[in-house]
Structure formats: C-alpha cells, structure tokens
Amino acid sequence: MFKLRILFLLCLTHSFVYSQQTKVSGRVIDAETGEGIPDVRVQFQYSKIGTLTDSLGFYTLQTYYATDSITYLMPEFNLVTKSVKKDQEQVIDVKLTEAIMDITEVTVKPPDEFPSTTMHKKVIAHKDANNKEKLSSYEYELYNKIQIDLNNIGDKFKDRDIVKRLDVVMDYLDSIDGGKTYLPVILSENISQFSYKNNPKKKREFVSATRISGIENLQLNQFLGEMYLDFNIYDNYLNIFQKAFVSPVANFARNYYKFYLEDSMFIDNNWCYKLRFTPKRTGDMTFEGEMWINDTTYAVKLFKAKLSPWANINYVQDLYMEHHFDQVMPEVWMLTEEKMILDLKVTKGTKLYGFYGRKYSSRRNFVINKDRPDDFYKSDFTVEFADSAKIRSKAYWIAHRHVPLNDQENGIDNMVDSLNQDPFFKFLKNSTYMLASGYYPIGKIELGSIYSLFSVNPVEKFRTGLAIRTSNAFSKRIEFGGRLYYGFGDKRFKYGLTTRINITPKKRGLLILYGNRDIEQIGISPTAAAVGSTFSSLLRTGPLDKLTFVDKAGINLEKDFGKDFVIFGGFEWKEYTPLGLATYEHRNEYGGLDTIRHVQSSEVTLRFRWCKDEEFISGNFDRTTLPSKYPILSIQGIFGIKGVFGSDYNYQKLEFAMEHNRNVGVLGRLRYGINTGVVLGTVAYPFLKVHEGSQSYWLYTNAFNRMSYFEFISDRYVGGFIEQHWQGLLFDRIPLIKKLKWRLVTSGRITYGAISQRHNDVMIIPSFTKQFGAVPYAEAAVGIENIFKLGRVDLVWRITHLAPGIPPLGIRARWSFAF
C-alpha cells in the first residue's frame, strides 16, 4: 500500500525530519581548487548509514540511526571526521586535502571483546531508533486469533464409549510433536483498528469484528485485542503472568544472558545476523532463544524465545513466542506477525486435563506519524466495538481475516456441542464452576453454596442451610437469589433475598436490591468469610463473643463512567441487635445505665473509584479486575440521616484510600496502600470505624491478623500497608529449596486513630476496646508462599499494644491460585 503511495510516504518522511531524525547536509570541496568533489562517501561513523555526494559535491543525510560523528571518505584524499549533534538539523561543509602516501607498520591485535558482545552493544545503542515508541503516532489494522485446546487427554478419553459414538469429536482430536493429543474447544477472532499517540500518550482500539466459538457466556472480547495482549521486546522487562522477565534487549541484558553470534543470512531481503541467548545462571526470570539482527539498522528482525526451564511460574509447563518485524517504511520497524503457544497443566506428571493456548496476530496497513486531533482518542471505552462487530457474516470474515481458518477451526462450535453431550465432560465443567463460585448449575438455577453449608458459632451453635439463585440460562439481565439458614442454638431462621439487574450491559451498570436477616461480625475484613462460612468456623483462634444480629435492606447502583471511573451509590436501612458481650448501654440522667435493645440507621453511600487503564473480566453480573500499573484511588462518603425509617443518628463518614499493585523488575511484585478517614457527628460506636481484625488462623491480606474484633474503634484514623512478593529472587538460589519453588513474602501493616468522648453521650464505648494513645498499632510478617503451588504460611509479629499472656508471634496460613 505504502509503496504505491510515494507522495504520502514523502509527507510522512517530512514529519520524521522535524521530529526526531538527525539531518546533516552540506558540500564537500577540494581544499586546493575549491571545486565540489563528486562521489565522496559520507557516512555516520561505526554504522552503515551513508550516502554519496552529487556531481557538485552536495549531500544530504538523514536518519534515526545517527552516531555522534560523520566521516568523509574519498580515495586519494585524507579521511575527515566531524562531530554531529543528534536529533537536530545542521549544515556541515568540508574541505578535503590530498593524501600523501606513506608506508607504515601495521600491527594486528585480537579484538577486545567477543563479536556477540559487540553485536549486542550495537542493538542496545540503536534501541531508541528501532523502538516504535520513538514515533509521534502510529496506526494499523490488527487481526488476533486465540485458540484454547484441551490437552493431556490420553487414550482413556478416546476409548470412552460415548466419545467413540461422537464421530465429530474423534474427528477433531489432533496431536503435536511428541504425539500429545489435544482437542480444540475455544476459538476467538478479533479484527480491530489500533491507534497510538505518543505525546501525550493516548490509545484507541476500535473493533470492527469479533467472534468466539466453542463456549457461551465468555465475555473476553475486549481482552483479545491490542490493549491487553501486546508487549514490547525493547522494554527492559516483559510482564508475563504478573511477573517481570528480563528482556534479551534490556540495557542490562548481558548481566543475565550469554550471547553467541552464530549465523547470518537473508530474511525477507534483509541481511541479518543470528544472536542466540541463554541465561547466565539459574533462578533468574529469563528466556532462552535467538534473535536475528538487521545488519544496517541493528533492529530485531525475528525473535524466538521460550521460558527458561526454572522459571518459577505455576501451571505453565511451557511457553514459546515468536515475533516478526518489518520495515513498514524507511527506518521504521514494526511488529507485523506474532505467535505464542502456552501449555497449562497442574504439573508435568499429572493425569488431569490441561490446556494449550495459542495466539496468532498480524498487523498490516500501517499509518505512521499521521496527526489526529485529541477528540479522535476520546472515548468512554478503552476498547470500542462497532454495533455490528458481533454479528458479522461468514462472507465478511472470509474477506477480512488476515489468514484463513482450517477445517478444524471452522467447526469448533459443532464439536463442542457434541462434546457437551458427554456426562463426564459436563460434570467436569460444572464442578470447575462450583469450585470457583460455590454454586452447582442445574438448568436455570444454581444450588449452593458449598462454602456455607454448615458452620459453628457461640450463638447458633450449629448452623446449616442452603442458597439458590437463577443462572444465565434463566436470564443474562436479571438474577434472583435467596438463602435460608437455621441455627440450632438460638432456634432462629436467617434468610436473605437479593435481586441483581444488569441495566446497561454495554457499559456496566449493576442495580442490586436486597434484604437480609442474619448474624454478622462487625469489624471483619471486607474480603473475609462471613460468620456462616464453613471454612472459617474451623480455623478460629478465639470465640465470636461480640456478634450482632442485623436486619437490613437496601438498594445499590454501581456504574462505570468513562474509561477509568466507577461510581457507587446506595441507600441502606439497618438495625443492630447486640449478642454476647457486645451490649448497648447509655448513661441516663440519674447517672445509672440503661440498656439499649437495638439501634437503627439509614445511610446514603457515595463512592468514587478511579484507576487509569483498569479493565475487568466480566460475566453478566460478576467481574474480576485485571491489574493496572496505576494505583486505585477511592473516595467514599457515608451519610446517616436521623428520622428516616426510624434512624437514630445524624453523622457523616468520609474516607480516602489508595492501593497500588505493580511489578518491580527482578525484585518481584510490590503491593502497598494507605487509608485515612473521619467520622463527623455523634453516633453509637458500631457505626464508627471498627478497625478490621481477625480471630482466625486463616491469613487475611486486608486486615490485621493479630488484632481482635472490636479491639480498636476510632472516629479519625490513618493507616497503611506494604507487601513484597520476592517471587523466586532469593529462594531460587538455594539448591534444596529452589526445587520446591517456594517464594519469600514480607509484609507490614500499621494504623493509628483516636476517638472522641462525645460518642459516649449516645452509647457507652465498651470496656473491651483499647485506646491508641501515642502509639499506633503495628504488625509485620515474613512468610513462604507457593507451597504445593497454592499454600502460604506467614509468621506474624504483633509489634505494639501487646497483651499480657498472649505471645506476640502467631502462625497464619491461606491458599490461593496464582501463577
């Protein structure tokens, strides 16, 4: 396309000249005659970028690959070298003098460094020139194809009678090198137009066509484009599975890799050198593979790599990637084709099913440095979809996809429909869903939750019950749910009803109406299991003797605005009745104590949440955030209104919080945050800030694990935490431990607050609480994670506010799935 549009190309090149190219022009003349010298070789020193003077001695030389000097070479004349100012336009005129021939002694010495080192240094020296980030803007059409295959099938699967009867399934079984059998189950395709602007950085992706074959209710379309599947090999670190791998093109790559210059040949009419790389030592997050380097620009032409054998990533048995680069116009190298194959299994020796993930992408129709107004990049969506993107015809796909599908890929839908007739396969799929959600799907309903079938606490003694909710087979826009539990100790039923409505599916808006009547623990972490959790009841370190019976009803709306904002608004009425030690009392006018049977509150909540470039994996009702490199900021206001539905208090609770989770190169992954808040007005202590504690051997990452419930209460407070996951940085260098693939984790939490005595006027603050005084509460922990690929054990040290007879150290543990 560009080759046929010479005028357009020249216009773009003109944009280069005045942005970041170096341009040198001038005239070369004979010092004796003053006449121009033709055919003088004008060349940037230590490079192949050069030109010849014309018949009158004039020259012009412009490039991204300028060095700091330029040489003028002509037989019979002395060589001249001039200094150059990079990234500027300049005129350099040169006079050449006739050379006087003299025979001198020549001494040949061995090179000071290996040729591979010299080559890699040149690659690094030219990184900025070859990196697409140098461009003021670029655009291209992107085609992405992702296929998921069920692997580790084995002969037993093929020998199952029902599979043998499903001829279509047998037809789709295939194998790769080594005879490993796999079965394709998902195929996704996207065609989009991607646009990028450098200063200020702006991105836009417009999806013109998208389709997913093989599985329903998988809303991953926006993550199959450029925004979330692209990484740049010219970066120092390549982030894969939330881990930072050192790129072979990193500025400091020679500290982590050995390089070998092994071969040279033409690739697409470009003469290239093969630079093979292997890790210098075990334990580092590195690759092994090869890259082919263009001999003139020292750009990467072809990159092939796989993870180093000791890469400490769970469930990833192998990963191979291949990147192809082309000069889409003079001195502009862009990634044009990409391949990736991922092998996911629990362990190498397991008989459980695993998956192959295959990604193919191609880029074409490049537009370089075309200025567009800022309004072009403005959008409420990080990834936009054409209205007809999901309903493109078969003819459209045939005409627009960059590579045709094979027969196997074309028929995945038919194959999966047949596979779903296998009871064992259906059971496996439903069981996997149950482990993730707690519910087992049965047609249009789901039964659960397996995580709260029974539990034990001091009030109810033994508790059991059942929950039910509608499935996506019932509706993708509205969900009805309910639960009913019975406590054999208090002989009371507890219940709850919830309705969730997806009011704006295109730009998420979730409306929730609910009513609950149940026992709760105030001061529990938002991520902690509820009182009725089966698992938590088995791990308690102390009795739940300060429980509260809560009646509540409310309505909430959570709405996404723009690309980065989530706004939450809600109204909730609740009534608290104390149980156990958590009695409610206030002092009467005679100085005596009166018991308060219950307190009521009506609250309006407004919360603004902002995180740049945050995206979510979304179902119809639930979603999981994908990590962004930017912090999450939130501001929340809770306003209690006296007199509404019997509410007893006027008060205002204001809070600011920040949390950041990011990779820090070879040091691993860092998570940290701060929060601060204030409660205005006068209110009963259950509505103040009850600092989140824990009375469980389960490790909570958003609570104080050595603080008891209701131990500290504040109406003004500030706190923070830091957690460093060292990945395999330290343990991978200890011979016996590195085989276990354990990882070190360290953390610390601190909070400080105060409480005004005015709240005693409405309810006496109980004696079992403490005052911070002049000392904040602090705890620290050191632990080992990735035990058997899912366990973590921490030794938690309570540093301040130590209680007599209670040791400051405690063991806490948790399990979670993580790469």
Is the pLDDT at 346 greater than 80? The verdict is no
User: How far apart are alpha carbons 520 and 228 in whole angstroms?
Assistant: 40
Residues 6 or more apart whose CB falls under 8 angstroms from that of 388 comprise none
CA geometry: angle 690, 691, 697, nearest 5 deg: 120
The token pair at 358 is 């295959």
Judge whether 467 and 449 are in contact, CB under 8 Å: yes
pLDDT, residue 532, reads: 57
Least confident of 291-300, 311-320, 506-515, 661-670: 311-320
pLDDT, residue 495, reads: 95
Q: Residues 759-793, buried b or exposed e (16+ Cβ, 10 A)? A: beebbbbbeebeebeeebbbbbbebbbbbebeebe
Judge whether 694 and 736 are in contact, CB under 8 Å: no
Residues 6 or more apart whose CB falls under 8 angstroms from that of 700 comprise 525, 527, 528, 692, 694, 814
How far separated are the first and last CA of the chain, in Å rounded? 43
Q: Residues 189-223, buried b or exposed e (16+ Cβ, 10 A)? A: bbbbbbbbbbeeebbbbbbbbbbbbbbeeeeebbb
pLDDT in tens, 466-515: 999 999 889 989 999 999 999 999 999 999 999 999 998 778 899 999 99
User: How far apart are alpha carbons 498 and 515 in whole angstroms?
Assistant: 7
Is the pLDDT at 516 greater than 80? The verdict is yes
Is the pLDDT at 231 greater than 60? The verdict is yes
Q: In the chain, where are the structural domains located? A: 6-105, 116-131+234-305, 506-815
Fold of 506-815: Porin (2.40.160)
The token pair at 511 is 């409306």
Question: Considering Cα of 609, then 613, then 614, then 620, what sign does the dihedral take?
Answer: positive
The token pair at 636 is 């929340």
In the beta sheet, which residues pair with residue 128? none
The whole-chain average pLDDT of the chain stands at 85
Q: Name which of 669, 667, 730, 670 is nearest 283 in CA terms.
A: 730
Confidence of residue 172 (pLDDT cuts 50, 70, 90): low
User: How far apart are alpha carbons 224 and 262 in whole angstroms?
Assistant: 36
More confident residue, 330 or 654: 654
pLDDT in tens, 2-24: 333 333 333 333 333 334 688 99
pTM to 2 decimal places: 0.79
The radius of gyration of the chain from alpha carbons, rounded to an integer in Å, stands at: 33
pLDDT, residue 227, reads: 45
Write the single-letter amino acid at 233. Answer: I
pLDDT, residue 535, reads: 62
Average pLDDT over residues 716-737: 88
Judge whether 251 and 237 are in contact, CB under 8 Å: no
CATH match of 6-105 with 2.60.40.1120: yes
Classify 125 as helix, strand or coil. Answer: helix
pLDDT, residue 323, reads: 96
User: How far apart are alpha carbons 280 and 167 in whole angstroms?
Assistant: 50
Average pLDDT over residues 174-179: 57
pLDDT in tens, 564-595: 899 999 999 999 999 888 889 988 888 788 89
Q: Name which of 111, 56, 64 is nearest 86 in CA terms.
A: 64
Q: Which long-range contacts (CB under 8 A, 24 or more apart) does 394-400 make?
A: 396/209, 397/189, 397/209, 397/211, 400/191, 400/208, 400/209
